Structure 1
């Protein structure tokens, strides 16, 4: 058995099935963070551009979007590190 993750028994061949099995949950997590970040962006668009409310709300919605993206990036990185440790222990 190969000691390197994502490699099959034959030398230097990638195990594409395992790569897809690892990439799909990660892609779903990244997509969830992206959807969560879209919510304040859409609120900003509708409340300021469409209804013409006070542009001060634009700054608040921008900060909320940046906060969601920063926290989401941290969660994704933690997931990657934890999963890498699990694969290293196998």
Structure 2
């Protein structure tokens, strides 16, 4: 017997928009934290030291923050998907 699909009402077959939004808001907040964390190094590079060694290091720091943030977001999505599949 197939398991019920998440975010779909089994009685009507329609999407549960309230549940989709309730799952999307924490994900958007997590993405926002990662992007906000990477903005200060990029702002310093953009407004002051774009052609120096410090600028290159700060740009790499911003890239690193975004890469780690993307990994955290992916782990959250996978863990939450496993939780939803178990319900």
Indicate the residue corresponding to 2:13 in structure 1.
12
Indicate the residue corresponding to 1:59 in structure 2.
56
RMSD: 1.7
Q: Which runs of 4+ in 1 moved over 4 A?
A: none
Q: Alignment partner of 1:48: what SS?
A: coil
Given the two structures, how large is their TM-score scaled by the length of structure 1?
Answer: 0.85
Q: Distance in 1 between matches of 2:63 and 2:49?
A: 18
1:30-45 alignment to 2 at 5 Å?
30-45=31-46
Report the count of equivalent residues: 85
CA contact (8 A) 2:4 2:10 kept: no
Q: Alignment partner of 1:8: what SS?
A: coil
Q: Distance in 1 between matches of 2:67 and 2:13?
A: 36
| Structure 1 position 58, deviation (Å) | 1.1
Alignment gaps of 5+ in structure 1:
none
Given the two structures, how large is their TM-score scaled by the length of structure 2?
Answer: 0.88
CA contact (8 A) 2:42 2:59 kept: yes
Alignment gaps of 5+ in structure 2:
none
Q: Distance in 2 between matches of 1:27 and 1:35?
A: 12
